[in-house]
Each structure stands twice: as structure tokens, then as C-alpha cells.
Amino acid sequence: MTQTEPAKTRSGPHLVLLTVYAVFVLAAGSRSLVQVATKFGEAPIAYSLSVVAAATYVAGWFAIRRAAAGSAGIAKVMLWVELAGVVVVGVLSLVVPSWFPDDSVWSKFGSGYGFVPALLPILGLLWLWKGRAAGSTEGDR
């Protein structure tokens, strides 16, 4: 039975989350590195926040991987931090557009990425909540 358990932790919705996070690690990381290296002086706040977003996606990827193995605490914190970042940066990009002469990953709630940055932490939190609810149901049996 223990041989089938690791297969269960490596299948399911978290694989989609991990894949999307990996894409965002590459996309946000590459974009932010190019922006910082080539035109940081034009939009230092926006580009710095893109670096923060990329780092958050790296941490989120590892946290979701750990959560799939049963340690959800870090994932829960990281997903809330990520969601807060998207909301704060999204609001600031609309309220103080002069800080964002060029888009960051989270500006305008991730509109440049099809709003996936706003949906990703919500989907991750729903996955954690659903897993916790399923776990508590199993524990009650």
C-alpha cells in the first residue's frame, strides 16, 4: 500500500498548479531580469515588483509541492501573500499609474497575463481547502 501512496500525492490538480507556477517562474523571472537589466531606471517600482512576483512564484512552487506531500502550512501562507501582492499591486497600478509606466506581472491584477496571476493563488487556496475538507472527512470515518 505504501507504494501506491506516493503515486497519489503526485497526481491530481496540484500538478496543474505546479505546471502553471513553473511557467510563471520562467515568464516572470525572465521578464523581470530583462527589465531590470535593460531599463530599470524607466520604471524601478514596477520592475522591482516583477522580481518580487517571480520570487513569490518560486516559493509558491515549492510550497505547493510540499503541500501535496502533506505539509500545507507554508503553502497556505505563500498563497495568501501572493494574493495580497496581486491585490495591492493591482490597486496601486490603477491608483498611482505613474509608478507603473510599464507593466509588472501583477499590475492591473495581472491583465497582461490574462488575469492568471489573480486567479492562481485563489485556485491554490481552493485546492488546499478542498484537500483539508477531504482529509477531515476521511479522518471522521
pTM here is 0.82
| Distances 111 to 40, 45, 81, 93 between C-alpha atoms, Å | 21, 18, 19, 11
Distance CA 74, CA 95 (A): 31
pLDDT in tens, the chain (141 residues): 444 444 445 458 889 999 999 999 999 999 999 999 999 999 899 899 999 999 999 999 999 999 988 888 899 999 999 999 999 999 999 999 999 988 888 999 999 999 999 999 999 999 998 876 455 433 333
Distance CA 30, CA 19 (A): 16
Distance CA 48, CA 17 (A): 25
